[in-house]
A and B are shown apart, each in its own frame.
Chain A
Amino acid sequence: MLVFTILGSFWLEIFLKINVLRQVKRLILTIAPTALFFIAWDAYAISRKQWRFDPAQILGLYGPFHIPIEEYLFFIIVPIAAIMTIEAVRKRRPHWTIGDEKNLGGDQR
């Protein structure tokens, strides 16, 4: 599933030249706080048995809080896919501003 997400989005990086993966610092600053919040949520849900994973269908490697390694990767890969998507949209529709443009003259939404 994670490989599918990577295949589904990372081609945008190459073909649309959106340069998301080149912005390593910005990616880390974006993903770290969100991941921290969502992993805390995941830890809570797992500890309360709100959801669970079939041990036979995961790698079986666990990070802190008994969270499978796949979950940690999910909270890194899915945000990157989301960022690539909006950057790809921006590339194709430059007049649809998203809020971080240098020249905000004529803020069209």
Chain B
Amino acid sequence: MSYTALALTAVALALVLDLFIVKTRLVTRKAFWTSYTILLPFQLLTNWWLTSRDIVMYSSRTILGARLAGAPLEDLLFGFALILSTLVLWIYWGRRGFSPEK
């Protein structure tokens, strides 16, 4: 599978996890989008760092070709899926009583 196809699959899986399986419905919450908005510039900055110095190189056969801050557009989907699935699980375990008693 290409990076494009894998990235789209990962986003779809993360959304299904959030909306239908764990039902955290993070994508409907302000706290999630605020966090994502804070995290995104940092992702773009590190993407730019890693690609402009050729620390990471992508094969042109596996991506659409559009780039943002040096990295393939697909990287945005990758980052979104990573952040969303992490936070869904974090909240899942919080619900199961792992959150600290305040």
Contact = CB atoms under 8 A, between A and B. Distances in A.
Contacts of A105: none
Contact of A23 (B42, B56, B87, B98): B98
A50 B3 contact: yes
Contacts of A78: 82
* Chain B, interface residues (CB within 8 Å), range: 35 or more
Contacts, number: 132
Contacts of A15: none
Given A26-B93, A26-B98, A51-B57, A1 B50 contact: yes
Contacts of B82: 34, 38, 75, 78-79, 82
Interface string B1-29: 11100100010000000000000111011
B55 interface: yes
A48 B85 CA distance: 25
Main secondary structure of the interface of B (DSSP, over half): helix
Given A33-B89, A34-B85, A86-B32, A50 B57 contact: no
Contacts of A96: 29-31, 34
Q: A interface, by DSSP: helix, strand, loop or mixed?
A: helix
Interface of B: 1-3, 6, 10, 24-26, 28-32, 34-35, 38-39, 42, 46, 49-50, 53-59, 62, 82-83, 85-87, 89-95, 98-100
26 contacts: A5-B42, A19-B100, A26-B93, A29-B89, A30-B86, A31-B86, A34-B82, A41-B10, A45-B62, A50-B58, A50-B59, A52-B56, A53-B57, A79-B82, A82-B39, A82-B82, A82-B86, A85-B39, A86-B32, A89-B31, A89-B38, A96-B31, A98-B24, A98-B87, A99-B24, A99-B25
